Amino acid sequence: MFPIIMSSDSGSQLWNCTVFDLHSGSSLLSYRGGNSSARTLAVLRGDFLLSAQLGKNFINVWEIQRKDQLQQKIVCPGVVTCVTASPNGLFLAAGVAEAIYLWEVNTGKLLSVLNRHYQDVSCLKFTDDSSHFISGGKDNLALVWSLCSVIQLDLTHAPDPRHILGRHSLPITDLCCGMMGAQARVATASLDQTIKVWELSSGELLLSILFDVEIMSVTFDPCEYFLFCGGSDGNIFQASLRSKSLNRDRSFQSDIDGNQVFKGHRNLVSCLSVSMDGTLLLSGSHDETVRLWDTNSKQSIRCLAHKGPVTNAVIMPAPANMFLPDSRPSVPLPRFSRHLHGSEGDGVESGEVCVRLGLYTQVKETYLQKADKLNSLMNAITDKSVFGDGENTKVRVAELEEEVQTLKKINKDLYDFSSQLLTKPT
């Protein structure tokens, strides 16, 4: 698999999104049908491409190798503002007005509708281990959701977010999630001219950086040494996370502690993406261009013209089936439901198994408590495999206790013999 650029804009009449070769900039293929909204472009399981139709209430779905034919449309109850797929390919989440809709991909069932934002949801991201997802909204809030607490069949109980990140004073425009799953760091961008970095596991604010302009997009470099922040003035700011300063609140100053500025765009920077080796930065802008930058020299090495303001631009490995027109998805995509699974009938369909996930996850445990519980469970399993069960265990324990007493007696005899030998007069 080689790296590609996938981008979309809001003005093209001929295609929805286009695939470019990362190194040559040549156009490889285009997907036809409508225009994509910002923060809605997603690849599902390497087999399907999804994007929400600009200003409409549905999500377009293509088979990744069939660029000219829409496979289906996922109809939603309102205009879709953001879309994300879990890295393991099992779940799909979309923001519709102030609600978050979560589907199970294998069955197409709508598992949950989360209504904890007070205004439109602007961005959604999963952690790399698919255990959590984070939502940002125009209500200035970012919410951290544990997937296991959300996927439950008890519709009488509305799931609560694990953390509420509420230090922004204006709407959140973008967010990005680092590596390490539930231990990751999360960065949120806002119209209040700040970037804030949070610890996902605790919800604690680690760093706040103040800029001179509104920040419209943000991403980490792969090693999380730097943040790249797209400004409303067209500049891209590289903020170092390795500063020696112990202050949690800082102001961005270029040429200090590794802070730099990329200059080239003439309008706000709507999206950012970094290559896996960290040497290339991709940016999309409302000046109708996508630029590729060398992160070391801060120079623009390629400019890809578009037909309208760029809504999505991302660097990714090319899915295995993308350039194989005769290939087919490994698992077909079902029809996606518009209603909660429990509201369409009192019982489950014939042949289905109802697994009640999340009913016992309401007690909040720390990771140390979970690790201690897991260790105790492993020890119990080990004891059972060694000692057996029931009466056999009692017999085995009695044998071991008798053996311990014998060893103690032998040890005492040896000690007495040694003492007598050492104290015997010559």
Planar angle of CA 18, 22, 27, nearest 5 degrees: 35
State the Cα–Cα distance between residues 393 and 383, nearest whole angstrom.
9
| 174 bridge partner residues | 189
Contact in structure between 81 and 93 (CB atoms under 8 Å): no
CA atoms of 81 and 93, how far apart (whole Å): 11
Two tokens at 239?
A: 């903020």
User: What is each CA distance from 27 to 24, 30, 39, 312, 314, in whole angstroms?
Assistant: 9, 8, 22, 16, 14
Q: Cα separation of 290 and 79, whole Å?
A: 26
Question: CB under 8 Å, gap of 24 or more: what pairs does 74-81 form?
Answer: 74/50, 74/103, 74/336, 75/338, 76/101, 76/338, 77/338, 79/55, 80/37, 80/40, 80/52, 80/53, 80/56, 81/37, 81/39, 81/40, 81/52, 81/120, 81/121, 81/122
d(CA 155, CA 136): 24
- Left if phi > 0, otherwise alpha if psi is -120 to 50, otherwise beta: which for 207? beta
Residue 200: left if φ>0, alpha if ψ -120 to 50, beta else—which one? alpha
| SS3 (DSSP) at 177 | strand
Would you call 375 exposed, middle or buried from its count of C-beta atoms within 10 A (0-12, 13-18, 19+)? exposed
d(CA 380, CA 393): 13
Is the CB of residue 123 less than 8 Å from the CB of residue 175? yes
Task: Report pLDDT for 383.
Answer: 60
Torsion over CA: 117, 119, 120, 123 (sign): negative
CA distance 210 to 189: 10
Q: Note down pLDDT in tens along the chain; length 426 residues.
A: 689 999 999 988 888 899 999 999 999 999 988 899 999 999 999 999 999 999 999 999 999 988 777 668 899 989 999 999 999 999 999 999 999 999 999 999 999 999 999 999 999 999 999 999 999 999 999 999 999 889 865 667 788 999 999 999 999 999 999 999 999 999 999 999 999 999 999 999 999 999 999 999 999 999 999 999 999 999 999 999 988 777 899 999 887 777 899 999 999 999 999 999 999 999 999 999 999 999 999 999 999 999 999 999 999 999 988 988 888 888 888 999 888 865 544 344 444 444 444 433 444 556 566 667 777 777 776 665 555 556 667 777 888 888 888 888 888 888 888 888 888 776
Alpha-carbon gap, residue 369 to 383, rounded angstroms: 21
Looking at residue 360, its pLDDT comes to: 39
CATH of domain 3-317: 2.130.10.10
What pLDDT is stored for residue 155 in this prediction? 65
- Report the distance separating Cα 284 and Cα 28, nearest Å: 18
Check residue 387 and give its pLDDT: 53
Domain ranges (residues) in the chain: 3-317, 367-423
